[in-house]
Protein backbone atom coordinates (compact mmCIF):
# COMPACT_ATOMS: atom_id res chain seq x y z
CA UNK A 1 0.00 0.00 0.00
CA UNK A 2 2.83 2.43 0.86
CA UNK A 3 4.43 1.74 -2.54
CA UNK A 4 1.22 2.09 -4.52
CA UNK A 5 0.93 4.80 -7.13
CA UNK A 6 -1.48 6.72 -4.90
CA UNK A 7 0.61 6.69 -1.74
CA UNK A 8 4.23 6.32 -2.89
CA UNK A 9 5.01 9.98 -2.10
CA UNK A 10 3.09 10.14 1.17
CA UNK A 11 4.11 9.44 4.76
CA UNK A 12 2.32 6.91 7.00
CA UNK A 13 0.88 9.85 8.95
CA UNK A 14 -0.99 10.77 5.76
CA UNK A 15 -1.69 7.26 4.47
CA UNK A 16 -3.45 5.90 7.56
CA UNK A 17 -6.02 8.74 7.92
CA UNK A 18 -6.77 8.68 4.18
CA UNK A 19 -7.47 4.94 4.32
CA UNK A 20 -9.65 5.45 7.38
CA UNK A 21 -11.78 7.96 5.44
CA UNK A 22 -12.59 5.09 3.05
CA UNK A 23 -13.43 2.73 5.88
CA UNK A 24 -10.16 0.78 5.56
CA UNK A 25 -7.71 -0.01 8.35
CA UNK A 26 -4.57 -1.88 7.42
CA UNK A 27 -2.15 -0.93 10.21
CA UNK A 28 -1.17 1.90 12.51
CA UNK A 29 1.31 4.59 11.55
CA UNK A 30 3.98 2.95 13.71
CA UNK A 31 3.43 -0.39 11.94
CA UNK A 32 3.76 1.28 8.55
CA UNK A 33 7.01 2.85 9.68
CA UNK A 34 8.32 -0.46 11.04
CA UNK A 35 7.61 -2.30 7.77
CA UNK A 36 9.18 0.47 5.71
CA UNK A 37 12.24 0.46 7.97
CA UNK A 38 12.73 -3.29 7.61
CA UNK A 39 12.47 -2.91 3.82
CA UNK A 40 15.00 -0.07 3.90
CA UNK A 41 12.39 2.29 2.46
CA UNK A 42 12.17 4.74 5.33
CA UNK A 43 13.54 7.56 3.23
CA UNK A 44 12.40 10.81 1.63
CA UNK A 45 8.95 10.06 0.17
CA UNK A 46 7.68 13.28 -1.40
CA UNK A 47 8.54 15.28 -4.48
CA UNK A 48 10.47 18.03 -2.69
CA UNK A 49 14.24 17.96 -2.54
CA UNK A 50 15.57 15.69 0.18
CA UNK A 51 17.47 17.31 3.02
CA UNK A 52 21.22 17.18 2.67
CA UNK A 53 23.09 15.58 5.57
CA UNK A 54 25.17 18.08 7.52
CA UNK A 55 28.37 16.63 8.90
CA UNK A 56 30.45 18.35 11.57
CA UNK A 57 33.34 20.43 10.21
CA UNK A 58 36.72 18.75 10.28
CA UNK A 59 38.37 19.15 13.66
CA UNK A 60 41.34 21.52 13.66
CA UNK A 61 44.00 22.04 16.31
CA UNK A 62 46.61 24.74 16.74
CA UNK A 63 49.74 24.40 18.86
CA UNK A 64 50.99 27.89 18.09
CA UNK A 65 49.86 31.25 16.70
CA UNK A 66 49.05 31.87 13.03
CA UNK A 67 47.82 28.32 12.37
CA UNK A 68 44.02 28.65 12.66
CA UNK A 69 42.06 31.89 12.42
CA UNK A 70 38.35 32.39 13.00
CA UNK A 71 36.36 35.29 11.61
CA UNK A 72 32.86 36.68 11.38
CA UNK A 73 30.87 39.86 10.79
CA UNK A 74 28.61 41.52 13.35
CA UNK A 75 26.13 44.37 13.09
CA UNK A 76 26.74 47.74 14.75
CA UNK A 77 23.78 50.08 15.18
CA UNK A 78 23.79 53.62 13.80
CA UNK A 79 21.74 56.61 14.85
CA UNK A 80 19.48 56.02 11.85
CA UNK A 81 16.85 53.51 12.95
CA UNK A 82 17.11 50.28 10.98
CA UNK A 83 20.46 51.18 9.43
CA UNK A 84 23.57 49.24 10.41
CA UNK A 85 27.27 49.14 9.71
CA UNK A 86 29.36 45.99 9.79
CA UNK A 87 32.37 44.99 11.87
CA UNK A 88 34.71 42.39 10.36
CA UNK A 89 36.77 40.64 13.07
CA UNK A 90 39.54 38.08 12.54
CA UNK A 91 41.08 36.29 15.52
CA UNK A 92 43.79 33.70 16.14
CA UNK A 93 42.19 30.82 18.08
CA UNK A 94 45.47 29.80 19.76
CA UNK A 95 46.29 33.21 21.23
CA UNK A 96 42.77 34.73 21.01
CA UNK A 97 44.41 37.83 19.57
CA UNK A 98 42.40 39.98 17.19
CA UNK A 99 44.75 39.90 14.21
CA UNK A 100 42.66 42.08 11.92
CA UNK A 101 39.47 44.11 11.79
CA UNK A 102 37.63 46.78 9.83
CA UNK A 103 34.25 48.52 9.84
CA UNK A 104 32.42 48.90 6.54
CA UNK A 105 29.04 50.16 5.40
CA UNK A 106 28.10 46.79 3.90
CA UNK A 107 28.96 43.09 3.92
CA UNK A 108 31.27 42.20 1.06
CA UNK A 109 33.55 39.36 0.04
CA UNK A 110 35.83 41.89 -1.63
CA UNK A 111 36.33 43.86 1.56
CA UNK A 112 36.90 40.70 3.60
CA UNK A 113 39.59 39.71 1.10
CA UNK A 114 41.30 43.08 1.54
CA UNK A 115 41.41 42.66 5.33
CA UNK A 116 42.74 39.12 5.00
CA UNK A 117 45.46 40.19 2.58
CA UNK A 118 46.60 42.87 5.02
CA UNK A 119 46.66 40.34 7.90
CA UNK A 120 48.78 37.86 5.96
CA UNK A 121 51.29 40.57 5.05
CA UNK A 122 51.58 41.83 8.64
CA UNK A 123 51.76 38.36 10.23
CA UNK A 124 54.10 36.93 7.60
CA UNK A 125 51.75 34.08 6.67
CA UNK A 126 53.27 31.63 4.19
CA UNK A 127 51.33 29.32 1.82
CA UNK A 128 50.03 26.21 3.53
CA UNK A 129 50.48 27.66 7.03
CA UNK A 130 46.98 28.86 7.89
CA UNK A 131 43.36 27.67 8.01
CA UNK A 132 40.63 30.35 8.06
CA UNK A 133 37.34 29.25 9.67
CA UNK A 134 34.01 31.05 9.31
CA UNK A 135 30.28 30.50 9.10
CA UNK A 136 28.36 30.20 5.82
CA UNK A 137 27.47 33.84 5.17
CA UNK A 138 27.64 35.12 1.61
CA UNK A 139 30.81 37.22 2.23
CA UNK A 140 32.54 34.07 3.52
CA UNK A 141 31.65 32.11 0.38
CA UNK A 142 32.17 34.96 -2.10
CA UNK A 143 34.38 34.38 -5.12
CA UNK A 144 36.69 37.31 -4.37
CA UNK A 145 37.58 36.05 -0.88
CA UNK A 146 37.98 32.44 -1.99
CA UNK A 147 40.22 33.51 -4.86
CA UNK A 148 42.34 35.62 -2.50
CA UNK A 149 42.67 32.74 -0.03
CA UNK A 150 43.78 30.46 -2.84
CA UNK A 151 46.46 32.93 -3.92
CA UNK A 152 47.64 33.31 -0.31
CA UNK A 153 47.71 29.56 0.25
CA UNK A 154 45.15 29.81 3.08
CA UNK A 155 42.74 26.89 3.47
CA UNK A 156 39.07 27.82 4.09
CA UNK A 157 36.92 26.00 6.67
CA UNK A 158 33.24 26.64 7.29
CA UNK A 159 30.58 25.83 9.86
CA UNK A 160 27.41 23.91 9.19
CA UNK A 161 24.56 26.22 8.12
CA UNK A 162 22.72 27.60 11.13
CA UNK A 163 25.06 26.03 13.71
CA UNK A 164 26.75 28.83 15.65
CA UNK A 165 28.56 26.37 17.92
CA UNK A 166 30.80 25.47 14.97
CA UNK A 167 32.37 28.93 15.22
CA UNK A 168 32.60 29.35 19.03
CA UNK A 169 35.67 31.59 19.25
CA UNK A 170 34.18 34.35 17.13
CA UNK A 171 30.86 34.05 18.95
CA UNK A 172 32.60 34.44 22.31
CA UNK A 173 34.57 37.42 21.01
CA UNK A 174 31.41 39.19 19.89
CA UNK A 175 29.85 38.56 23.31
CA UNK A 176 32.86 40.20 24.96
CA UNK A 177 32.68 43.08 22.52
CA UNK A 178 29.01 43.75 23.24
CA UNK A 179 28.82 43.09 26.99
CA UNK A 180 32.25 43.80 28.50
CA UNK A 181 32.37 46.76 30.94
CA UNK A 182 34.58 48.62 28.47
CA UNK A 183 32.13 48.03 25.65
CA UNK A 184 30.15 50.78 24.00
CA UNK A 185 28.97 48.68 21.08
CA UNK A 186 25.39 48.73 22.36
CA UNK A 187 25.26 52.49 21.71
CA UNK A 188 24.51 53.64 18.16
CA UNK A 189 27.37 55.19 16.22
CA UNK A 190 27.14 58.49 14.36
CA UNK A 191 29.12 57.25 11.35
CA UNK A 192 31.88 54.92 10.18
CA UNK A 193 34.62 57.11 11.62
CA UNK A 194 33.08 57.03 15.10
CA UNK A 195 32.66 53.26 14.93
CA UNK A 196 36.24 52.70 13.73
CA UNK A 197 37.60 54.91 16.49
CA UNK A 198 35.74 52.95 19.12
CA UNK A 199 36.70 49.55 17.68
CA UNK A 200 40.38 50.55 17.61
CA UNK A 201 40.17 51.35 21.33
CA UNK A 202 38.39 48.07 22.07
CA UNK A 203 40.89 45.98 20.09
CA UNK A 204 43.83 47.55 21.94
CA UNK A 205 42.16 46.82 25.29
CA UNK A 206 41.25 43.28 24.29
CA UNK A 207 44.67 42.37 22.92
CA UNK A 208 46.93 44.14 25.42
CA UNK A 209 44.99 44.64 28.68
CA UNK A 210 42.25 42.00 28.86
CA UNK A 211 43.26 38.92 30.87
CA UNK A 212 41.49 36.18 28.95
CA UNK A 213 39.91 33.37 31.01
CA UNK A 214 40.40 30.84 28.20
CA UNK A 215 44.20 31.20 28.20
CA UNK A 216 44.94 31.26 31.95
CA UNK A 217 44.32 34.99 32.33
CA UNK A 218 47.17 36.27 30.22
CA UNK A 219 46.53 38.80 27.47
CA UNK A 220 46.10 37.62 23.87
CA UNK A 221 49.11 39.71 22.85
CA UNK A 222 51.30 38.01 25.49
CA UNK A 223 50.29 34.58 24.24
CA UNK A 224 50.65 35.55 20.59
CA UNK A 225 54.32 36.51 21.00
CA UNK A 226 55.06 33.55 23.29
CA UNK A 227 55.78 35.17 26.64
CA UNK A 228 52.72 33.70 28.36
CA UNK A 229 54.50 30.51 29.43
CA UNK A 230 57.11 32.46 31.42
CA UNK A 231 54.34 34.52 33.03
CA UNK A 232 52.52 31.37 34.15
CA UNK A 233 55.73 29.84 35.53
CA UNK A 234 56.29 33.03 37.54
CA UNK A 235 52.75 32.91 38.91
CA UNK A 236 53.17 29.30 39.95
CA UNK A 237 56.39 30.16 41.79
CA UNK A 238 54.64 32.99 43.65
CA UNK A 239 51.82 30.66 44.73
CA UNK A 240 54.20 27.93 45.88
CA UNK A 241 56.21 30.45 47.87
CA UNK A 242 53.04 31.71 49.52
CA UNK A 243 52.03 28.15 50.44
CA UNK A 244 55.48 27.41 51.87
CA UNK A 245 55.34 30.56 53.97
CA UNK A 246 51.91 29.79 55.42
CA UNK A 247 50.88 26.18 54.63
CA UNK A 248 47.91 26.15 57.03
CA UNK A 249 46.00 28.50 54.73
CA UNK A 250 46.08 25.99 51.87
CA UNK A 251 43.78 22.98 52.06
CA UNK A 252 44.84 21.72 48.63
CA UNK A 253 47.62 22.24 46.13
CA UNK A 254 48.19 25.69 44.67
CA UNK A 255 46.20 26.98 41.72
CA UNK A 256 46.81 25.30 38.39
CA UNK A 257 48.80 27.66 36.17
CA UNK A 258 49.63 25.06 33.51
CA UNK A 259 50.30 26.40 30.04
CA UNK A 260 47.70 25.46 27.41
CA UNK A 261 49.70 23.75 24.67
CA UNK A 262 46.93 22.99 22.16
CA UNK A 263 43.67 24.68 21.20
CA UNK A 264 41.04 22.75 19.24
CA UNK A 265 38.25 23.97 17.02
CA UNK A 266 35.25 21.62 16.70
CA UNK A 267 37.00 18.63 18.36
CA UNK A 268 35.88 15.10 17.59
CA UNK A 269 34.35 12.97 20.31
CA UNK A 270 36.79 10.80 22.28
CA UNK A 271 35.73 7.65 20.40
CA UNK A 272 35.73 9.40 17.02
CA UNK A 273 38.38 10.10 14.46
CA UNK A 274 41.46 11.82 15.84
CA UNK A 275 41.79 15.54 15.21
CA UNK A 276 43.98 16.96 12.47
CA UNK A 277 46.80 19.12 13.75
CA UNK A 278 47.48 22.19 11.67
CA UNK A 279 51.20 22.93 11.22
> Are 181 and 191 within 8 A, CB to CB?
no
Q: Using an 8 Å Cβ cutoff, are 101 and 90 in contact?
A: yes
Nearest to 102 by CA among 80, 72, 122, 77: 72
| Count of alpha carbons within 13 angstroms of residue 78, beta-carbon side | 18
The DSSP call for residue 129 is S
Q: How many residues does the chain have?
A: 279
Model pTM score: 0.76
From first to last of its 279 residues, the chain has per-residue pLDDT tens of 988 988 887 888 888 888 888 888 989 989 989 999 898 887 665 555 555 555 556 788 999 999 999 999 999 999 998 899 999 999 999 999 999 999 999 999 999 999 999 999 999 999 999 999 998 889 999 999 999 999 999 999 988 765 656 788 999 999 999 887 666 666 889 999 999 999 999 999 999 999 999 999 999 999 999 999 999 999 999 999 998 999 888 878 888 899 999 999 877 765 544 443 343
**Torsion 235-239-244-246 (CA) sign:** positive
Walk me through the domains of the chain, giving residue ranges and CATH numbers.
1-50 (no CATH), 57-279 (3.30.420.10)
Amino acid sequence: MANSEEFKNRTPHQIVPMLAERGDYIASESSFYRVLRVADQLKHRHAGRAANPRSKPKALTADGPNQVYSWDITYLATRVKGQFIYLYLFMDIFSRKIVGWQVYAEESSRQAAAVMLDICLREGITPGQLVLHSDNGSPMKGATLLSTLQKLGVAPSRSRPGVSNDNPYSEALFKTLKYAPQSGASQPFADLTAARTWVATFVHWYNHEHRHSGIQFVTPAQRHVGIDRAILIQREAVYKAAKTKNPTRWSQDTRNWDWQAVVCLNPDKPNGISTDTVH
